[in-house]
């Protein structure tokens, strides 16, 4: 016993000399328990039997295993508690790092519930029972639904015509107007175009095209400018357009030598139609250096200074071809043919026929030409008329219909013509044969030529042959 007491005392001194942690001491002594005192006391008394000793060792092993499991659970809970204490630290630090799927509060003060009551995050509709207030629609929102915003007003936006493309868009309108002559259609087309500040150039383009055309085109242009004034173009726009044309006269003369006189007539007609202000000419007095512009302004001033000029200027371009009286057209065609028979210039005759602008009345030219051949006394009229008809046929001035109508009119009136010209049938048959040989008329038209009437037989012995 004395030896054991000494050993214990020495152990206690060693413990006092080297202090140890309670936790470490407890870990090194897993068998320390209240029941150990009883076992040690039985061992000291020496009352061990072999059976008791084996049972005692089995109990010690089982208790040791339970103590080890208990100690491992305690260490795991301690590590989790340390992690909870450091939850409020920097999340980027290794010790305070949390997983992305953790929906608990990271401040360490939460109750462990989801953030925002489960109403936050991507692809959610909000918390249950939440009522949203009405918000005004945002036009810049890609999900903006225009049809759900009530009545929708659609506005047609027409881009402004570029100055360089204005001529390409206006020229077809003016050319079509020369064909149909409907000013209302031109107004409708101009309203569809957004000419912007360059709308005055429409007048200058129309006048420039008419200078290269016919007298009827210039008359149509003057009427168009009169109808467009106030409705589409103002007097200031018209004045600006004519001022531009006065500056461009040196270039216009290259294509139209009579451009200064014609432009002066346009200015006078525009002032008479109240398209240009009366003070338009006064603005140029003493301020014009170009000789061509001075000629145009002088021409306008002379026309306006005549008595009853406002009335006469209505016919400054003459009367259109279709509006002329029939007697006047017949007279013009007779003069045309007489001049041709005198000069023999086919090109001049074609030009005069074009200026009459009566393609629907060309059959009168054919009729008058054939009558001149029948009434002529020499043999020169027939080949010259055939040459003229052949040229007009090849150039397209005379159509098949107009040619047939002209010859048919002569066929119908041949009995009356025969009263004044006794040999009209013979001359007509010869003329028709020559026209057919020169490909002026068709075979059907040649066969339709009326005969002289009664055919004289030579004799009974000739077999009934017709005398040529």
Average pLDDT along the chain: 77
Q: Which residue in the block uniquely carries the two structure tokens 């009545």?
A: 151
Burial grade of 349 (CB within 10 A; 0-12, 13-18, 19 or more): buried
Local confidence band at 423 (pLDDT 50, 70, 90 cut-offs): confident
Burial grade of 216 (CB within 10 A; 0-12, 13-18, 19 or more): buried
CB 404 within 8 A of CB 445: yes
CB 217 within 8 A of CB 178: yes
Lowest mean pLDDT among 40-49, 67-76, 328-337: 40-49
CA distance 5 to 2: 5
Q: Phi and psi dihedrals of 250, rounded to 5? A: -60, -30
Q: Which is more confident, 43 or 354?
A: 354
79's enclosing H/E stretch is helix 50-85
For the chain, report the end-to-end CA distance as a whole number of angstroms: 187
Local confidence band at 321 (pLDDT 50, 70, 90 cut-offs): low
Q: Which is more confident, 468 or 145?
A: 145
User: What are 97-125's pLDDT values in tens digits?
Assistant: 555 555 555 566 666 666 666 666 666 67
Q: Which residue in the block uniquely carries the two structure tokens 């107004």?
A: 187
Q: Phi and psi dihedrals of 194, rounded to 5? A: -100, 85
Radius of gyration, alpha carbons of the chain: 60
Percentage with pLDDT > 90 across the chain: 16
Domains and CATH numbers, the chain: 11-46+54-70 (no CATH), 166-315 (1.25.40.180), 321-447 (1.25.40.180)
CA distance 217 to 185: 16
- State the SS3 of 252-292: HHHHCCCHHHHHHHHHHHHHHCCCCCCCCHHHHCCCCCCHH
Q: What is the pTM of this model?
A: 0.47
The pLDDT value given to residue 370:
92
């Amino acid at each position: 016993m004395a030896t054991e007491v000494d050993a214990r005392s020495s152990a206690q001194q060693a413990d006092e000399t080297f202090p140890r942690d309670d936790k470490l001491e407890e870990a090194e002594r897993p068998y320390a328990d209240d029941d150990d005192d009883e076992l040690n006391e039985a061992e000291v008394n020496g009352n061990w039997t072999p059976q008791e000793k084996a049972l005692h060792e089995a109990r010690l092993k089982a208790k040791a295993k339970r103590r080890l499991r208990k100690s491992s659970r305690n260490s795991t809970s301690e590590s989790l508690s340390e992690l909870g204490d450091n939850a409020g630290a920097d999340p980027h630090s290794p010790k305070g790092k949390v997983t992305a799927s953790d929906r608990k509060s990271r401040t360490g003060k939460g109750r462990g519930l989801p953030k925002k009551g489960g109403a936050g995050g991507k692809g959610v509709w909000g918390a249950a029972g939440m009522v949203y207030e009405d918000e005004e629609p945002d036009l810049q929102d890609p999900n903006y639904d225009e049809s759900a915003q009530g009545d929708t007003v659609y506005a047609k936006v027409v881009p402004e015509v570029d100055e360089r493309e204005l001529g390409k868009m206006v020229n077809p309108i003016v050319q079509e107007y020369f064909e149909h002559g409907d000013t209302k259609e031109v107004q409708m087309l101009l309203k569809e175009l957004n000419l912007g500040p360059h709308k005055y150039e429409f007048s200058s383009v129309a006048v420039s095209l008419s200078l290269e055309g016919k007298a009827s085109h210039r008359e149509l242009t003057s009427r168009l400018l009169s109808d467009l004034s106030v409705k589409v173009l103002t007097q200031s726009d018209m004045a600006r357009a004519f001022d531009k044309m006065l500056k461009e006269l040196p270039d216009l003369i290259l294509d139209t030598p009579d451009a200064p006189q014609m432009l002066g007539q346009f200015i006078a007609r525009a002032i008479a139609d109240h398209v240009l202000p009366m003070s338009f000419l006064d603005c140029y007095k003493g301020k014009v250096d170009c000789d061509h512009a001075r000629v145009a302004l002088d021409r306008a001033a002379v026309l306006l200074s005549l008595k009853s000029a406002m009335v006469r200027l209505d016919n400054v371009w003459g009367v259109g071809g279709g509006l002329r009286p029939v007697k006047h057209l017949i007279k013009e065609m007779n003069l045309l043919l007489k001049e041709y028979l005198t000069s023999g210039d086919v090109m001049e005759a074609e030009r005069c026929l074009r200026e009459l602008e009566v393609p629907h009345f060309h059959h009168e030219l054919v009729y008058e030409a054939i009558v001149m051949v029948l009434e002529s006394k020499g043999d020169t009229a027939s080949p010259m008329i055939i040459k003229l008809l052949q040229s007009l046929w090849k150039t397209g001035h005379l159509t098949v219909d107009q040619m047939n109508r002209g010859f048919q009119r002569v066929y119908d009136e041949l009995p009356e013509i025969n009263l004044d010209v006794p040999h009209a049938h013979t001359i007509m048959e010869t003329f028709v044969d020559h026209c057919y040989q020169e490909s002026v008329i068709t075979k059907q038209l040649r066969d339709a030529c009326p005969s002289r009437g009664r055919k004289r037989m030579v004799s009974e012995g000739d077999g009934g042959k017709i005398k040529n």
